[in-house]
A and B are shown apart, each in its own frame.
Chain A
């Protein structure tokens, strides 16, 4: 009976998680960010040709915008292409699926490492809070690799603890952690550090004879999975993200001028960099960032919604105090505190304050602490009526939180954040398809790089694209130069040059700055289409040049 009840409760949590992530998946956000489009098109290209957009056979990391994207997500999208086609839904589906799959493994992990007294309620509450977590929902509805990586990481941790009882599971642990590392950049630091921490903690057990064989097999499997990554580990492409973003490669902040005598002391680069690192590190524990501000990035947050709900704040503070003070939490305390301290490290070495995408694994220990606070408050309630009333209030709070998610994700995000989600390129592609197919098209790329969205929405033939835009494959991982201008059949993406472009009859596409109303009137352009953002402002204009009329107009202007 108890088992049935637990299964029923957990099913409800899964339904809730599915509803918050699956509703309008692929439709909200309505735009498709250029990285999402690039990942989708590369998956499409791999499916059709076995090569990426540049013609490289099954790359280990994807060159893309010379940002060298991690491969796991793209290879997960690839088999979805024949099922869902090259659509926004297909591109976002792995994020959704793996964010749901994380829940049962989190439940099992907490259940496994907690003391019997609190295992059940804590596992339920943490899973429920993850199901409605704005932080986890955001990366479960959009194409971000971090959620897939988190799944492998958590599942690996569960099998690690299982392997302490049944050594055969060590191989599965190695496979899952081996996959977590190439799944997302920050996992290259978090997973090895956690592996090391857990191995040191359980070293006595792991050194027993019965573990030798599974550990050796596990290490061999892990090594085999990591081998392709190791092959390119020293190339500039692989290191591009780390070197471009980390604070230690930049001029330190806080340099004081005119301190010649004390310069070595007060302006020491290492000291200042370390100081900044600690400031960034601390920001991941700041209640202000967690409950009020959230991530400052318009794509890694929703309007009017922070990383956690504000009602969780008192439980975070109380839970943290109780968690540190508690003495009977066994492995739960060790795992949670280790992950709490390790998870922000990769994010704290990069320049952005409170980057939720890089620190995603942190959602787990912070939710465990909040849940622990809630469970311990509930346990202090003595009479039944008070307990029932608190459950009723909790139910109301969950309903309010769901409405808040709906409001921010579906309504406000679409209205306020459409430009940041690169809204409008789907409509541009449709508009171009309607124009005279013999006319050349110029798409302005002064402020963005729209080629990935265009080839995505036009479903442009990968063979033709590779032929016109390929790179030297010998220097695929090492050449850091990137050509922003692309040829997509009759379409060219490049900055508009009015002097030259007005002399040819062609279609020009640009945003409201590239093609203003004044320019349309001055150059006698024919406005074919105007694509608007949900707030009514102009996203893009599609115009046709009239070289003859423009010549006559210019003559008239000169005569006047």
Chain B
């Protein structure tokens, strides 16, 4: 069991460490640790913008979600949001420049070109407008972040995406426990908090122009779900799960060796 846990959890941090300098490694892992610590106390999340201004939106999203699921009370929420506002004001210019909200000249020109193809101005405006530039960028990032291929196959083996480091995040066979874990998410004690952290992370990453490696904040919640899936699979003692144990170990080991050799 512990071997399976190790094989599941080793990939993403190891690849992040191997592909980056030690300082960069810390820059990406500390926000992930703080995000996880915010389960214990949401105050920890307020430190994140001080280290990475890009992630300024993350604490307030965590606070909103914690309020929704009654993890914090309204007073506590209001106090923390006030502190966040002060931090956000100081970090705003650093944050705004790295988000999809900053105007994109090329995209605007494309909108103008497209609108000229329509005879009907209403139709042209409905299909192509400046608001869509942001919405499309947001959707593109959000769907990249929820793409299973991103976590198990670095998107696609024959179509490398040069815009990010394409780190190996989990061994591809871990998709089975991941799916099992998600489908049985209610078996995790703090499942609402974990789903909340995932939602807050996805939203705050999707508004960034480049979210590469900052998506490491998703590592702990996703790892917890995979572990949940592994527990469920390993508990049921039938021939298929026994076979799966060995296949899981063998494939993960090969993938780990490949990761180190690459």
**Which A residues are closer than 8 A to B by beta carbons?**
253-254, 256, 259, 262, 265-266, 271, 275-276, 278-280, 282-283, 285-289, 291-292, 304, 310, 313, 321, 324-325, 351, 353, 400, 403-404, 406-407, 411-412, 415
Q: Closest CB of chain A to B190's CB: distance in Å? A: 19
Number of A-B contacts (CB under 8 A): 82
The 9 closest A-B pairs by CB, nearest first: A279-B153, A288-B147, A288-B143, A253-B157, A292-B143, A407-B127, A286-B147, A266-B258, A353-B156
Q: Mark B171-208, 1 if CB is under 8 A from A, else 0.
A: 01001000000110000000000000000000000000
Which residue in B143, B153, B258 is a CB contact (below 8 Å) of A256?
Answer: B258
A238 to B18, CA, bound (A): 48
Residue of B nearest to A310 (CB): B139
A291 touches B143 (CB 8 A): yes
Q: A292: nearest residue on chain B (CB-CB)?
A: B143
Q: Can you name 18 extra interface pairs (CB under 8 A) apart from A275-B157, A282-B175, A287-B143?
A: A254-B258, A256-B262, A275-B153, A275-B172, A278-B172, A279-B153, A279-B156, A287-B147, A288-B149, A289-B147, A313-B143, A325-B183, A403-B123, A403-B127, A404-B127, A406-B123, A407-B123, A407-B127
Query: In whole Å, how far is B32's beta carbon from the nearest beta carbon of chain A?
Result: 23
Q: Which residues of A contact B140 (CB under 8 A)?
A: 292
Q: Which residues of A contact B143 (CB under 8 A)?
A: 287-288, 291-292, 313
19 residue pairs of the A-B complex, CB under 8 angstroms, read A253-B157, A265-B257, A271-B254, A275-B172, A279-B153, A282-B149, A283-B149, A286-B148, A286-B149, A288-B146, A289-B147, A292-B139, A325-B183, A353-B156, A403-B123, A404-B127, A406-B123, A407-B118, A411-B118
Contact, CB under 8 Å: A262 / B146: no
Give the nearest-CB partner of B135 in chain A: A310
**Does B3 interact with chain A (Cβ within 8 Å)?**
no
Q: In the complex where A262-B261, A292-B143, A403-B127 touch, is A279 in contact with B254 (Cβ < 8 A)?
A: no
The CA of A285 and the CA of B175, in the complex, are separated in Å by 12
A266–B147 touching, CB < 8 Å: no
Identify which of A262, A265, A275, A285 contacts B148 (C-beta below 8 A).
Answer: A285
Q: Which residue of B is nearest A268, CB measured? A: B254
Once the chains are docked, how many angstroms separate the CA of A353 from the CA of B146? 18
Chain B residues near A407 (CB-CB < 8 A): 118, 123, 127
Q: Is the interface of B mostly helix, strand, loop or mixed?
A: helix
Q: Is B159 an interface residue (CB 8 A)?
A: yes
The minimal Cβ–Cβ distance linking B154 to chain A, given in whole angstroms, is: 9
Known A256-B261, A266-B258, A407-B123: A288·B144 in contact at CB below 8 Å: yes
Interface string of B214-249 (1 = CB under 8 A from A): 000000000000000000000000000000000000
State how many angstroms separate the Cβ of B145 from the closest Cβ of chain A. Answer: 9
Q: How far is the CA of A412 from the CA of B156 in the complex (A)?
A: 28
Bound together, the chains give a CA A324 to CA B117 distance in angstroms of 45
Nearest CB of chain B from residue A513's CB, rounded to whole Å:
24
Contact flag A276-B127 (CB < 8 Å), given A285-B148, A287-B147: no
B131 within 8 A of A: no
Tell me the bound Cα distance from A271 to B149 in angstroms.
18
- B172 engages A279 (CB within 8 Å): yes
Interface: B75 (CB within 8 A): no
* CB nearest to A534 among chain B residues: B117
Tell me if A403 and B157 are in contact (CB < 8 A): no
Looking at the assembled complex, report how far the CB atom of B183 sits from the nearest CB atom of chain A, in whole angstroms: 6
Report the minimal beta-carbon distance from B218 to chain A, rounded to whole angstroms: 15
A291 — which chain B residues lie within 8 A by C-beta?
139, 143
B165 within 8 A of A: no
**A-binding residues in B (CB < 8 A):** 114, 117-118, 123, 126-127, 139-140, 143-144, 146-150, 152-153, 156-159, 172, 175, 182-183, 254, 257-258, 261-262
Contact between chains at A276 and B118 (CB < 8 Å): no
**Distance between B86 CB and nearest chain A CB, rounded to angstroms:** 35
Does A276 lie within 8 Å of B157, measured CB to CB? Answer: yes
Closest to A247 in B: B158
Smallest CB-CB separation from B173: which chain A residue?
A278
Partner of A412, one of B117, B148, B158, B172: B117
Contacts of A412 in B (CB 8 A): 114, 117
Alpha-carbon distance between A321 and B159 when the two chains are bound, in angstroms:
29
Which of A285, A287, A288 lies at the interface centre, i.e. has the most chain B CB atoms within 10 A of its CB? A288
Question: Closest residue to A404 on the B side, CB-wise?
Answer: B127
Q: Quick check: B156 and A283 within 8 Å, CB to CB?
A: yes
Nearest-neighbor residue (CB-CB) of A267 within chain B: B258
Within the assembled complex, what's the spacing in Å between the Cα atoms of A325 and B261? 41
* Contact partners of B156 in chain A: CB under 8 A: 279-280, 283, 353
Name B154's closest neighbour in chain A (CB-CB).
Answer: A279
Give the CA-CA distance A325 to B185 in the complex, in Å: 12
C-alpha spacing A400/B156, complex, angstroms: 32
Chain B residues contacting A321 (CB-CB under 8 Å) are: 182-183
A178 and B245 alpha carbons, distance in the complex (Å): 41
Q: Which residues of B have CB within 8 Å of A400?
A: 126
CA distance A286 to B172 in the complex (A): 14
B146 touches A304 (CB 8 A): no
| B139 lies within 8 A of A287 (CB) | no
Q: Which residues of A contact B183 (CB under 8 A)?
A: 321, 324-325
Find chain A residues with CB under 8 A from B126 CB: 400, 403
Contact A253 B158 (CB under 8 A): yes
How far does the alpha carbon of A292 sit from the alpha carbon of B138 in the complex, in Å? 11
Chain A residues, CB < 8 A from B172: 275, 278-279
Q: How far is the CA of A254 from the CA of B159 in the complex (A)?
A: 12
Contact call A279/B262, Cβ cutoff below 8 A: no
Query: How far, in angstroms, from A30 to B258 measured CA to CA in the complex?
Result: 49
A477 to chain B, nearest CB (A): 31
Alpha-carbon separation in the docked complex, A404 to B132 (Å): 13
Looking across the interface, which residue of chain B has its beta carbon closest to that of A304? B127
For A353, give the chain B residue with the smallest CB separation: B156
Q: Which residues of B contact A266 (CB under 8 A)?
A: 254, 257-258, 261
In Å, the complex CA distance between A522 and B217 comes to 63
Q: Which residues of B have CB within 8 Å of A415?
A: 117
**Chain B residue nearest in CB terms to A406:** B123
CA distance A119 to B126 in the complex (A): 36
The CA-CA distance from A271 to B262 in the complex, in Å, is: 16
Question: How distant is the Cα of A503 from the Cα of B144 in the complex, in angstroms?
Answer: 58
Task: A492 to B126: give the CA distance in the assembly, Å.
Answer: 48
**Contacts of B127 on A, CB cut-off 8 Å?**
304, 403-404, 407
Considering the complex, give the chain B residue whose CB is closest to the CB of A313: B143
Residues in A with CB closer than 8 Å to B261 are 256, 259, 262, 266
Q: A230 to nearest B CB, angstroms? A: 34
A371 CB to nearest B CB, Å: 20
Chain B's nearest CB lies how many Å from the CB of A304? Answer: 7
Complex alpha-carbon distance, A256 and B257, angstroms: 11
A321 to B117, CA, bound (A): 41
CB contacts (< 8 Å) of B258 on chain A: these are 254, 256, 266
Give, as a whole number of angstroms, the nearest-CB distance from A468 to chain B. 41
A265-B254 contact given A324-B183, A404-B127, CB 8 Å threshold: yes
Residues of B with C-beta under 8 A to A287: 143, 146-147
